[in-house]
Each structure stands twice: as C-alpha cells, then as structure tokens.
Amino acid sequence: MSRFNLTFSGEILTGANPSAVRQRFGELFDIEDADRIERFFSGQTITLRRNLNRKEAAHYYHQLHLLGAVAALVKTTAEESADPSPTIPRPPAGKDPSSAKTKTNQPAETAATDALGQVWAVGSKGATSLTRKEVSGAPARTTKNPINLSARIKASKEAARNQAEEQREKESARLSAREVMREAEESQLGRAETKNTRLDQEKALQKEQERPATQEKTERTAEAARIKAEAEEQQHREEAARKKAEAEEQQRREDTACKKAEAEEQQRREEAARKKAEAEEQQRREGTARKKAEAEEQQRREEAARKKAEAEEQQRREEAARKKAEAEEQQRREETARKKAEAEERQRLASELTDIDQQTQEKIRLIQSDALQKRSTAKQLSDKRLLAIDHGTHSSAAQRTGFLVLSEAIGAVRAENGNANGATPPVRTHQAGEPNFYSLRPFRNTEKVKNRASSATTMKKRSLQLGAAAALLFLVSAAQLFTLQDKGQLNGPRAVAIDSNSGVVLLAEDTLLMHDRAGVFQSSITATDLGLHSLRSPLAFDAAGTMIIAGSILTDSGETSPLFLARCNMQKKSCAPLLQSNLGLRQFIVNPMDNSILLAGAGQLIKIDPQGKISAEAKLALAESAVMRLHAGLLFISSVEGPAISVYRYEDSAFAKQLDEILLIPPLALESGRSKVANFAWSANAWWVVLRNPDSGDQGVYRFDENWGFLNEIKPVTSDVALKLVSWGEKTLIHNFRDTDIARFNAAGKPEIPFTSSRLAEIFSTREEHSTLARWLWQGGVIFASLLLFVCAGAVVLSGLRQQVYKSHRASGAEPVDEYAPKLRWIDPAVDRAKILRQRAISYYLIALAIVIIAAAQSVDTWHMCALLLFLSGPGIALSILRRSSAGHIGILFDRLLLVNTAGMYHIAGGSNIQFRGAFLVIDDVIVFTGSRLLPAFNKNQVTEWASPLVTAGIKVDSKTIVVKLLEARHPVALAICSLMGGSLSALLALGLRTIFQP
C-alpha cells in the first residue's frame, strides 16, 4: 500500500491572513512557542508527518488547506516506509478534531472503520479524493449522532496510528538488540575459527603420533571457547544495557535541564515584558498628563484670545456703526441740500422760461402784424390775375420769412437771456457710452412687480405637486423596468427531465415542452391545461411514466396558493395533489423501485409513499440548494460545508442515518477556489459534479469514477450561473436558466452538438420582443420623469429664491432723466469688445471642430457623436448670445448711478438703493454686468474711478439675489448659462435614448 510524507515549506494561500494562519498552525500541532512556529514558515521544506496512509495524508492536507497553509504530499519509497524517522509531535485530542476518541476504544473504532470500507486515494502531486469501497456484510453503524460519525472514525484511526508507531518503535529497538547480539556472535565465532585453524595445523604435524591426545585437547579447547563466548556475550549484553540506561538517563537529565532553562528564560522574558509594560504605561500616563496640561493651557490661551478678539470685533463693529451713522447723516444732509438746490434751480429756470415765452409771444405778434400790412399793400397794386398768381408765392415767402424771423427772435431772446445771466450756454456733444434716450424705458413698480413674492410661492407649490407626480412616475417606471430586467434574465429552461421513453421534457416558465428521444419537439402543455396556475422546478417521472411536479392553484379569493406536489397524467392532461402541505419544499427525487418520494424541506428530510402519506421523516441540516441523488441503494446529498457529499440510508428502519462523508478535492478545483458542491449526478457510468467558488460564484464541472476517484475536468463548461446536470442515456445534459441551448456531452466527457428546442427558442424570442417594447416604454418613462423631476426641482429652488429675495424687497419706479441729460457722465464701453468676443468664439468653434474630427477618427457611434455635438453646442450658443447682445450703459449723475440694462430699461438711484456683488451692479430689477477678463464689457479704469465710490455706499448682496435678478431680467449672461446647461442635459438625454433604442 502506498504511503506518503507530509511536507511544508511555509507557503500561505493567497488572501489568507499570515498571523491567523500561524496561530491556527500552532493550535493544530500544539506548538505554543512563537519561535518554533516561525521556523516552520522560514521557507525551508520540513517534513511534518512520515509514512502516512492515504486517508491520513488526505486528512492532514485538507486541514492545512482549510487553515490557509499550502502543504505537499510526497510518495515514499520502500526504504523510507521502513524508516520510522521522527516528525513534529502529533496534536493532542483537544487540538485535532480527528482525535476525539481515546485509545481504549481503538479496537472497536478500527473495526467500525474497516466495516465502512473507506479507501482514500492520494495522487503524487497532492491531489486527494475520498473513495468508498463496497464491502459485503459490513455491519451498519447505529449511533445517536450520525453527524459526528466522521469525527469518531478519524479519532479512532488517529489512535490506531499512534499505537502502530509505538509498536514500530518497540520493534526497532528489538531489531537493534538482535543486531548487536548477532555481531557479537560473529566476532566470537571468527576468533574461534582462527584458533581452531592453528590447532588443526599443529595437529596435522603430529597427527600420526598424537591423534588421541590431540582429539581430546581439541574437544577441551572447543568447550572452553564456547564457555568463553557465552561469557563474553553475557558481558556484552550487560554492557549494552548499561550504556543504554546511562544514555537514557543522560537524555532525561538534558531534557530536564533544557526545560528548566526554557522555563527560566520564559520567566525572565515575562518579567522583562512586565517591567517594559509598566515603564510604557508610566510613560504613557505621564505623556497623557502632559498633553492634557498642554491642551488645557492651549484652551485657556485660545479662550483668552477669543475673548480679546470678540472685544476687538465688538469695538470695531461699534466704531463702524458709528462711522456709518455719521456717513449716513452726512449723506442725508448733502442729499437734502442737493434737493433744495435742485428745487431752487428748477424754480429759477421755470421763471426764466416764462419770461422768454412772454417776450417771444410779443415779438411774434409784432412780426405777424407787419407781415399782414405788407401783404394787403401788395394786393392793392397788382391786377386780379397777378394777384392770383403772386398771392401764393408771396404768401409762402412771407410765411418762410416769418418763421425765419421767429427763429431769429427766439435765438436772440435766448442769447439775450444768456447774456443777461453773464454766461454763454455750452454746446452739448455726444459721449461714447451714451444711449439713445428715445429708446429707453423706465422701470415701473407695477402690481405684477409688487406681487412677485406671492406668485413665487404659488409657483413653488405647483412645482412641488408636479415634482411629486414626476417622482411617482419615476418610481413606477423604474419598478417596471427592474421587473422586466429580472424576467429578461430567464432565457433557458427552469428544469429538464427524462421520461420513461427517454424523451426530453423542458419546463419553460409555466409551459411543458415535450420532445421525443431524438430531441424533436412534439407538443406543449401549459399549467392551465393541467388545471394548475403555475409550475415550478424540479420535475421527475416515476416508473409508471407519471410526472411529479411542484405547482400552485388560484384560491377562491384570487390569490396564489402555496406550492404543493402534484402527480400529473400527461396523456389525460390532468393533475391530482399528492401532498397538500409544501413543508418548505426545496428538492425531491423519486425512487424508481417503489415510486416513493424523498423530499428535502426546511431542516428536515421526508419520505412519502406513492399515496402521498409520510412514511418516515428526520431532522437534518440541509443546504438551501441541496441536491439529492439515489444510486446503488444509497442516498447521496450535497454537504452543508466543504466540498463533500454525505451518504445516507433511506429505508424506513434506518431513515436518514449517515454512513459516510465523501470529500472531493480535485487539484484544478483547489486552484480556482471551488470548494462547494453545487450539483452532481450519476451519468454514463461516472459521477458528474459541479463545484462552485462560494465567494465569486465561479463554477466548473468534474468527472469521478464510481469510487469517487478523480477523472478529468469538463471544459469549457464554466459559468457564474447555477448549472444543473441531467442524465440522458449515455449523454449528459448541462443547462442553466439563462441559455436557450443545452450543452450535451458524451460518455467520455467530450462536448457534442448542443441540444436545441425550436419551440423554446420561439417562446423566448417572442417574449424578448414584447419585453423589448415594454423596456423602451418604461425606459422612456424613466428618462422623461427624470427630466421632469429635474425641471421641477429647479423650479422649486428658483421659486424659493425668488420668494426670499422679493419678500423683503420694496421696489420704486424710475424718475424721468431727460432733464438730466446734459449733466450725465457715461462710462465708455470696453475697447474692441465685439472683436474680442468674435475671436474667442472662433477659437472655440475651431477647438470643437477638432474634437469632432478626433471623435470621428476614433469611429465613435452615432449616439455618442450626437451627444458630443449637443454638448459642444451649449458653449457655442452661449458665446453667440454674448457676442450679439450689448453690455448696457452706466451713467454718473453727481452722487447717483444710472443703469441701463441690455433691454433698454433704466433706473437711477444712489446710496443704499444700489446693490452689487462681484462684477454685477443692481438697482431693483435693472442689472448690469461690468465685465471680466474673459468677457469684457466696460472701461475698467472708468468703472473703478467713477462708479466704485458710488457702489461702495450701496449694499453687497448674496449670490442668490444676483441669480434671481439675472433670470428675472433675462440677462445675456443668464441665457448663456442656461444654454450651457441645456447642451449638457441634451447630451445626457441622447445617451439615455441610446440605452432605450440600442441596449
């Protein structure tokens, strides 16, 4: 029988915690010294166990793999098998779960183990798998706790192995003593032979004369040699025993001294560690106290600095308030004086205009009387014809002369009036930043303006209502879309079964698709045809060809009933309930021998007879997706933990009694981390097993022989979706719920043409078309609801801002400015503003064109190209809006500011009625952007010298006020920002539509 050495080189599995692996390694082998444990992980190959049989080697290899260490099994030679070299101590009973029994129970446990007939196969490269050998007449184990049977067997084998090692040690000592005795005998015999040869030579010389005496002497010499040899042998034995006793005593003393030295060293280390810990604790306390004192001192200093800063801040505020009050008082006085002077000036100008009008009227009257007199004289001197001809000419000339004289008179009066005041009126010239006064319109405080706060509140409520409706539409659309996605994942059969005629039956949603033994579709039967509401996997056929399936019906209240087992006659298309209670139905199989059914429920295993009555049941811990198979009179169930399959009996007398636990560790599965049995089946004279990685969900299919010896891996069958195995004669089918095609393999595990059902493909193709249309509809609903929700959210935010801004704001209308035209100073616009904006727009257009060309060169699809164009159009439109709009006008009238926005609306104010933030100036709803480095608008020097002194006397507002005023006035800056946002949203909408029409 092959034996193995268990070696370890300190390698740790990827992803395992090294410190945890070392700790569990020490616990497994009962090693408490950290230095000794560390030597095992130094990288040097160390033999942990020698001369292990297959079962022992597989056990230790699996234990080390579970704790995260990578061991290796090396097949031993005949000489190594006979050499009982020492290894590290075996773990005690408390450390190794396999040593749960004492040595007193070794014979009974060994007998039980031999009765089970376990044979473990271990490959030379470390691949191990457990096999079960049929043993006729093996007694059945009857234990109250079948789950611990494997642990008890392992404990008994460990005890038997310990006893065998002790026996080997005794045998080795006995053989050593025998060898010593044999060597002594050979030495004595050699000396005796030498002496006898010499005597024979002497005897040959005196053979004739001393034959009788020589013969007697020879006999005496032989007797003496025998006695001497026996004495020397006895002495040699005593000397060997004494030396052995002395060596053992010396070894014991050395061990005692070593243990004492180790204990003293351990005590010294603990004392040093304790003192070091006390010193560190003292240092930590002192450091904590010092830090606490420093923190308190720092806090005190900060508190004093804070109080001092608060006092200084309070003083500064009071000083600022006093200065502001004085400035406001001074401004109020200056404003009063200015208004008084303006009133006096208006009154003086009005009186002068009245005098001028009176003088002008008098001169006009005199000129008209003189013209009448001259016209009457001319009529008298000419005849009627000439009078008729010349009358119009002279009349027109007289009128023209009168108007000229009137003009001259008015000019003379004004000149005289100016000379009377001692000054010449100045000639007014047009300024660079002056607007066209005929196109200006003043800001009016209308009822609409006064009710903006209340209208904003109303708008906010309506936006909230519409947003709630959009949110509801979004949730409904998203829920429907999620449901469709879940349904879209099901593209394959839920279950596959083989009927009594070797025909293939597929369960697709709630429809059974019947195929003949060649795989050709024959007919379909729906759940409604069988009198059921729905059908669920699994499904199976009994020996009579009747189908057993899980289904549900509709109750009188219209609700779906719980799942129950039903027996269905496919010829008559009728079903009868077999077991009304579902009992937490997870899996079931049919015994073809007596048509009984084994059912795996929630924490229990149940056996029901063909009439639906429970004949046996037992509590049993089963996995959520446990798989059951019947083979060779035994029940095989996938284990809850580890890559193993549990073996049970299913007779009524010994129902659910565990007989064995088969461990499956193919090397390829270990490398991929596939340590969970997901499915298995007996097909084509081999076991087919699906092993799954519990972390990543990766799966693979492996073949084993009847004794669970590893054969090969089935490629390329790997999937992260649950794979199911079905035996179809000499073929094996592997299917999942996502793929329409079913993989087919021959008896050797070679792939063949997949099994394809035309009806199954047609069903899922039609369903895919309907689900695609529905998906488009609900995706459109999601996108529309998202956009509407975004718009409503923006409207709610904007309405809230408008409500806050206009709630406490009181607007006033603008006064006429015609009479102030000669006295206004206008700030010049920025030099070459239009040219700069045009250059920057051209630069952006070139950059955008380059981006589009690069995208086209990269073969960007149509949807992404459309989204890119929409995104790039936003900044282009924004630059176009800014380039085509004017910057407005800014005028200075003494201590007041006159603002004209881009729409021609103006307002004039001063002091606190002016609002500003950054480059924006605001008077009520009239807002002007003074410009920036990228977007020039006005002459910066004039803005700084003329407007800034007036602006600083105003109020600096927050950004939300500027945003509201920009949007209220529809300022070009606001329109440019909206175009940027619109381009981005349009691009996102295009990408969303792509997900609908091109998933």
Task: Give the 3-state secondary structure of residue 3.
Answer: coil
Residue 773 burial by CB count (10 A; 0-12/13-18/19+): exposed, middle or buried?
exposed
Across residues 405-429, what is the average pLDDT?
A: 42
Residue 650: both structure tokens together: 């299913």
Q: Provide the token pair at 28.
A: 């497994």
Mean pLDDT of the chain: 79
3-class state of residue 830 by DSSP: coil
Query: Is the preceding peptide bond at 538 cis, omega within 30 degrees of 0?
Result: yes
Selection from 595, 540, 608 nearest residue 570 by Cα: 540
Instruction: Choose the most confident range, by mean pLDDT, from 177-191, 390-404, 487-501, 980-994.
Output: 980-994
Of 229-233, 488-492, 740-744, the one with minimum mean pLDDT is 488-492
Over the stretch 936-964, which tens digit does the pLDDT of each residue have?
Answer: 999 999 999 999 999 988 999 999 999 99
Confidence label for 383 from pLDDT (cuts 50, 70 and 90): very low
pLDDT above 60: residue 604:
yes
Look at residue 423 and tell me whether its pLDDT is greater than 90: no
Q: How confident is the model at residue 410 (pLDDT cuts 50, 70, 90)?
A: very low
Give residue 972's pLDDT.
94
DSSP-H helix ranges across 808-943: 833-857, 862-884, 940-942
pLDDT of 595 > 50? The answer is yes
Q: Tell me the pLDDT band of 841, cut-offs 50, 70 and 90.
A: very high
pLDDT tens digit sequence for 222-246: 777 778 878 888 888 888 888 888 8
Query: 655 near 607, Cβ under 8 Å?
Result: yes
Residue bearing the bigger pLDDT, 641 or 518:
518
pLDDT tens digits for range 460-470: 999 999 999 99
Q: How confident is the model at residue 704 (pLDDT cuts 50, 70, 90)?
A: very high
Is the pLDDT score of 179 beyond 90?
no
Banded pLDDT at 592 (limits 50, 70, 90): confident
Structure-token pair, residue 588 = 């079931």
Q: What is the spatial distance between Cα 955 and Cα 914, in angstroms, rounded to a whole number?
A: 6
**Stronger pLDDT, 313 or 173, i.e. the higher one:** 313
Say what the pLDDT of residue 341 is.
79
What mean pLDDT is predicted for residues 671-694? 90
pLDDT digits (tens, 9 = 90+) for 429-443: 678 888 988 889 999
Residue 325: pLDDT band by 50, 70, 90 thresholds? Answer: confident
Q: At what angle do helices 972-997 and 758-807 cross, to 10 degrees?
A: 160
What is the per-residue pLDDT for 386?
Answer: 38
Name the more confident of 184 and 718. 718
Residues 974, 92: Cα–Cα separation, whole Å: 82
- In this prediction, residues 648-654 reach a mean pLDDT of 89
Q: Confidence band (pLDDT; 50, 70, 90) for 489?
A: low
Q: Give the H or E element holding residue 9.
A: strand 4-12
**What residues are paired with 479 via a beta bridge?**
none
For the cut 50, the answer to whether the pLDDT of residue 631 exceeds it is yes
What pLDDT sits at residue 851?
Answer: 94
Whether this prediction's pTM lies above 0.75 is answered by no
* Dist. CA 979–CA 874, nearest whole Å: 5
Label residue 827 exposed, middle or buried (CB < 10 Å: 0-12, 13-18, 19+): buried
Of 113, 179, 202, nearest in space to 151 by CA: 113
Among the listed residues 795, 798, 801, the one whose alpha carbon sits nearest the alpha carbon of residue 464: 795
* Between 760 and 222, the higher pLDDT residue: 760
User: Is the pLDDT assigned to residue 205 strictly greater than 80?
Assistant: no
pLDDT at 999 over 60: no
- Tell me the percentage of the chain whose pLDDT exceeds 70: 77
Q: Which segment of 24-33, 182-191, 280-289, 582-591 scores lowest on mean pLDDT?
A: 182-191
Question: How many Cα neighbours within 13 Å face the side chain of 961?
Answer: 22
Tokens of 243: 């030396």
In this structure, what token pair is assigned to residue 723?
């794979």
pLDDT higher for 842 or 1? 842
Burial class of residue 527 (count of CB atoms within 10 Å of its CB; 0-12, 13-18, 19+): buried
State whether residue 82 is helix, strand or coil: helix
* Contact present, 605 and 617 (Cβ < 8 Å): yes
pLDDT digits (tens, 9 = 90+) for 791-840: 999 899 999 998 888 887 788 889 888 888 888 999 999 988 889 999 99
What pLDDT does 574 receive? 86
pLDDT at 921 over 90: yes
State the pLDDT at residue 203. 67
Q: Are 76 and 122 in contact (CB under 8 A)?
A: no
Rounded CA-CA distance 507/840 in Å is 67
Is the N-terminal amide bond of 822 cis, ω within 30° of 0?
Answer: no
pLDDT at 908 over 70: yes
Cα Dmax for the chain? 226
Determine the average pLDDT of the residues in 1-10.
84
How distant, in Å, are the alpha carbons of 48, 61, 67 from that of 64?
11, 5, 5
849 CB neighbour count, 10 Å cutoff: 11
pLDDT digits (tens, 9 = 90+) for 94-144: 444 333 333 333 333 333 333 333 333 333 333 333 333 332 333 333 333
pLDDT value of position 396: 38
For residue 143, what pLDDT is reported?
A: 35
Which range of 1-10, 550-559, 919-928 scores highest in mean pLDDT? It is: 919-928
Question: pLDDT (tens digit, 9 = 90+) per residue, 23-81?
Answer: 888 888 888 888 888 888 888 889 888 888 888 888 888 888 888 889 898 888 765 65
pLDDT of residue 113: 33
Quick one: pLDDT at residue 172?
Answer: 63
- pLDDT, position 957: 93
